[in-house]
Amino acid sequence: MIRHLISAADLSRDDALLILDTAGELAQMADRPIRKLPTLRGRTVVNLFYEDSTRTRISFEAAAKRLSADVINFSAKGSSVAKGESLKDTALTLEAMGADAVVIRHQASGAPHRLTGWVRGSVVNAGDGTHEHPTQALLDAFTMRRRLGRLDGLRVAIVGDVLHSRVARSNVLLLHTLGADVTLVAPPTLLPVAVSAWPCEVSYDLSTVLPKTDVVMMLRVQAERMNAAYFPTVREYSRRYGLDAARMALLPDHAIVMHPGPMNRGVEIAAEVADSGRSTIVEQVANGVSVRMAVLYLLLGGADPAGAELGGAELGGAELGGAELGGADPGTAEVLAGRAGGGRASPGQLRVGWLSGEASEAAR
């Protein structure tokens, strides 16, 4: 497993599948009475956000806390950044405080990459300018696989403001790696100049693409990043590239509708579509926690298969079998790991199990 997650292009097919498989195991915690593991106990995760965020920041915070990590939330507003402190000086301050991982969102493309040269811990890109947002692409792929059962050969249409979308870039790269066929649909003014070099197809007509699409992902028009008129009016854009009930009817019966959020209802997506049974928008938010848990676990706690021993050994500081699990006795909760050679468990074999009775013999 890689040390940092800066771009979806950093992930090999095996790396990406490992994250998705691990997220699938961790997702089993969502419906349990105790949704916490001790895997990252004693580790410190810093959320370094220079841009406004709701879903991503809270998702990373929830993911780290469910793995028992200590979380420090940093917002540029109200910090020394407002006094002129540079990104490098902020990074060195965090380094001095012993940050094991830094999750960064920044308005400048390339900021997470620069950060990797200033801190010794792992760096996770939570969105940098118009560049990339790799964990969003991972949670989108995870959602597609859970809903449709596969990624290889899946036909995905990404519709809207591709020019300013870091989500579109990461999804194109990751889905291509995982074997999906991606088509970008947008007006010519909202497509990057070098889009012909991307591993995807391009179309300007949404209605012709929808009947042969398994997944349609709508993108928000990012007016805050626009410094020119990219289309005549919002009404014209919505008429040509918005997904309403009539257009949704063109989709195959099994097709799903996605949106990374936040949505502009009535612009790129109609309210009845966003709230329909085909929509996975709320599901994406829930899956985001599991995927980000998997990323933090693999970067900080599970990159080495030897990091999770069975028998009398420890998993992130918590003994299995007869010892404690994050303060809960084995009769309340137990983490089971699939056995690998030599009594060790690889991250891909992690299974989360909650038992109501005595500790299982399988954990001993």
List the domains of the chain with CATH numbers: 8-132+285-300 (3.40.50.1370), 134-280 (3.40.50.1370), 306-363 (no CATH)
> Residue length, the chain?
364
pLDDT of residue 357: 32
For β-strands 256-258 and 215-218, DSSP reports them as: parallel
Query: What number is the average pLDDT over the span 296-321?
Result: 50
Give the phi and the psi of residue 121 in degrees, each rounded to 5.
Answer: -75, 180
Give dist(CA 297, CA 300) in Å, integer.
Answer: 5
**Catalytic residues, which ones?**
55-56, 83, 105, 133
Whether omega for the bond prior to residue 38 falls within 30 degrees of 0, making it cis, is no
Give dist(CA 344, CA 306) in Å, integer.
Answer: 6
Nearest C-alpha neighbor of 154 from the set 121, 130, 178 = 178
Least confident of 30-39, 56-65, 202-211, 288-297: 30-39
User: CA of 278: how far to CAs of 116, 220, 286, 323, 336, in Å?
Assistant: 40, 18, 16, 45, 34
Contact present, 135 and 163 (Cβ < 8 Å): no
Flag whether pLDDT at 313 surpasses 60.
no
pLDDT of residue 211: 97
pLDDT of residue 78: 61
Which is it for the CA torsion 163, 118, 66, 9, positive or negative? positive
